[in-house]
Amino acid sequence: MEMYSSACKEAFTAKQKALELHRWKLEEQQRLEEARLAEEAALAIAEKEKAKCRAAVQKAEAAQRIAELEAQKRINAEMKALKESEERRKVIEKMVHNDVRYRKYSIEEIEAATEYFSESRKIGEGGYGPVYKCYLDHTQVAVKVLRPDAAQGRSQFQQEVEVLSSIRHPNMVLLLGACPEYGCLVYEYMANGSLDDRLFRRGNTPVLPWQLRFRIAAEIGTSLLFLHQAKPEPLVHRDLKPGNILLDRNFVSKISDVGLARLVPPNVADSVTQYHMTSAAGTFCYIDPEYQQTGMLGIKSDVYSLGVMLLQIITAKSPMGLTHHVERALEKGTFADMLDPAVSGWPVEDASKFARLALKCTELRRKDRPDLGNEVLPELNRLRALAEETMPNITMSCSPQTTPRQSQSSSQVS
């Protein structure tokens, strides 16, 4: 019995040990399974990280290749631009020295005509240099002389010669000749000076009647459209203002000072009519705000300047804040007070239409401005026809004896 009891105890103990061993085995298997799963998860994470790393490396390599390509393109573009600029400079220089479309004068001829640039012959002074009134080839002319220290003077001289020697229009100042070696330009003499001088009656000159003002506005629009439709490349004036509109003895207006004009590539003009310039140029109050901010030049940049000038033509007021004042006057019904009081018989209704058209031209956004050929010029021509029906005989003149300096604009070609 003792032996049996002892055997039973041993059997029970062995069974418990077996159960414990089985339980330990199950726990070990579970731990092994968890370790295997953890290892697989770690391997999966490691693989994902490797994939991300490979993708990042590939992306960095692609970005580096793109950057290298862009850098190469930029270098190529700069080299091409420099080459084109150099070729253009050579062409312009060759044109200036060899062009047969204008008369070449020697410096001796210019000095003799101007009495060695006598002060008594001087009729104006601009950023470009002094302007002298004299006779060449038995013709009364205005001679513009490039100052040695004039900023960008030489490039403006070449630009002006290139433009004016290749285009002809009855409302563009006529280039008669030049002395390329010394930077002298010879123009037809404009007896009644600039529109700016006449609007503000400098030298106590007679007031311009409203009929003449409407006619001048239409002439300016016609010549500006001519520039914009120039072939093979449209021209943007960039400095349109009353000071650059000159009047001949019959008060026919002509655009001058195209030294800042820019050729816009045809493909640009036909598509977006914009061309990026490195820096804005022109005169404050007349510069297109969009061009001033972005450097994007287009034919509607001139339309803005035209709008400001049209408002000055009927008000004879400073351009500073003029669009705001005219707009407020139209809203309040006091527009008649804005018209130049020195002029009698204003057709107020037609003048208000004129002013509203001018305000459209001065919209801040270029796309909101009207088209010069299809919208602006037809209305200006209508007003010119109205003016010509009632236009008095123009007998005004600016006496050179009484106003030798004011009768010719400082920008006849300044």
- Residue 370 DSSP symbol: P
Closest C-alpha to 143, from 91, 193, 184: 184
For 315, residues 6+ apart whose C-beta sits below 8 A from its C-beta are: 322, 326, 338, 339, 340
**E strands present in 127-284:** 130-136, 139-145, 175-179, 184-188, 235-236, 245-247, 253-255, 262-263, 275-276
Closest CA to 184 of 86, 103, 64, 301: 103
Q: Residue 133 in 3-state DSSP?
A: strand
Rounded to an integer, what distance in angstroms lies between the CA atom of residue 413 and that of residue 408? 10
Nearest CA-CA partner of 224 in 208, 244, 197, 199: 244
Alpha-carbon distances of 254 from 113, 187, 262, rounded to whole Å: 24, 12, 18
Provide CB contacts within 8 A for 327, sequence distance 6+: 359
For residue 174, the one-letter residue type is L
For residues 143 and 140, what is the distance between their CA atoms, to the nearest angstrom? 10
Nearest to 253 by CA among 170, 188, 176, 319: 170
User: Tokens standing for 10?
Assistant: 């041993």
Can you tell me the distance from the alpha carbon of 85 to that of 81, in angstroms, rounded to the nearest whole number?
A: 6
Nearest of 59, 83, 68, 88 to residue 159 by alpha carbon: 88
Answer whether the bond into residue 232 is a cis peptide, omega within 30°. yes
Known catalytic membership, residue 239: yes
Exactly one of 239, 257, 288, 302 is catalytic; which is it?
Answer: 239
Active-site residue list: 239
